Amino acid sequence: MQTDTQVMQTHLPQVTEPRNPGMGLDLEWVRSAQANTSAIERRAATLGTRRSVKKDYQAAWLCKAITCIDLTTLSGDDTAGRVQRLCAKARQPVRPDILTALDMEGLTVGAVCVYHEMIAPAVQALNGTNIPVAAVSTGFPAGLSPLNLRIEEIKQSVAAGAHEIDIVISRRHVLTGNWQALYDEMQAFRAACGDAHVKAILATGELGSLRNVARASLVCMMAGADFIKTSTGKESVNATLPVSLVMIRAIRDYYQRTGFRVGYKPAGGISKAKDALIYLSLIKEELGNRWLQPDLFRFGASSLLGDIERQLEHHVTGAYSAAYRHPMG
């Protein structure tokens, strides 16, 4: 994986893309989408074996990864205090002495992601920063509450101050091939978000096949999704490289046909710095440098940041520290 100025400059103001307006449901395009599972798995298997960056280059790429993290807490025992501590970590994701040594002062994460009830303390804690608050919605994680309640939940989260809404699709529409129903649902969610950006969570571990992942990705983008996201983090199988490859290539196909860029967010199970580097290399190779900015790429993660901070400390000091030296809050 080669580095260049565009990728490395993490402090540049982020370019804002025109939002994906969506398009009419093109069932011929959707039904023509296929996935060669064996070829996809072979391609994905090579990513961790032949891509490597070292020393200063690795540190720079890890700093880039931090800017793309949606720092997340989605636990039933969340409190305002926990969210406030997480937001403090979002504002200062790496110890100041490490950032000073790296000449990376001012580094922040991409967003903070919480449940609806925790939006207010997150907004308050992030006041004065450019870090957006993302809220999970639409009956997260199952998405099985009544549609009118899911739409109302979105509206209330936007009114509470969320700038991004992570919605969950109805998996049954994918499993039964009811693409019109999925399209209509996604359009309704997009409309309810208003100016807030919407990330469509496909829950790929529950869709049955990579072909279904490809088709669901296209339908959600046709309906106006700003991002497509792998998982809620609550499924038994979350983000994987084969699934990511399928979704990224659907994004590329959509861009080539429509001219609109849609973002990508792998979530669930990404906890090691080396995993972040693999995902970044995949994005760079398949989509290009433009998708390496946080307005088009995010990691949904909680523990990933701690491991990245450990690796950066090792780069600066030559020694590994215990994980407790890099708390989330």
Helix (H) or strand (E) holding 165: strand 164-168
Which amino acid, one-letter code, is at 159? Answer: A
Task: Look up residue 114 and give its DSSP letter.
Answer: E
Task: Look up residue 131 and give its DSSP letter.
Answer: P
- Can you tell me the distance from the alpha carbon of 28 to that of 6, in angstroms, rounded to the nearest whole number? 37
Q: DSSP of 14-82, one letter per residue?
A: PPPPPP-------HHHHHH----HHHHHHHHHHHHHH----HHHHHHHHHHHHHTEEEE---TT--HHH
Contact (CB, 8 A) for 135 and 162: yes
Contact (CB, 8 A) for 80 and 123: no
Which positions are annotated as active-site residues? 166, 229, 265
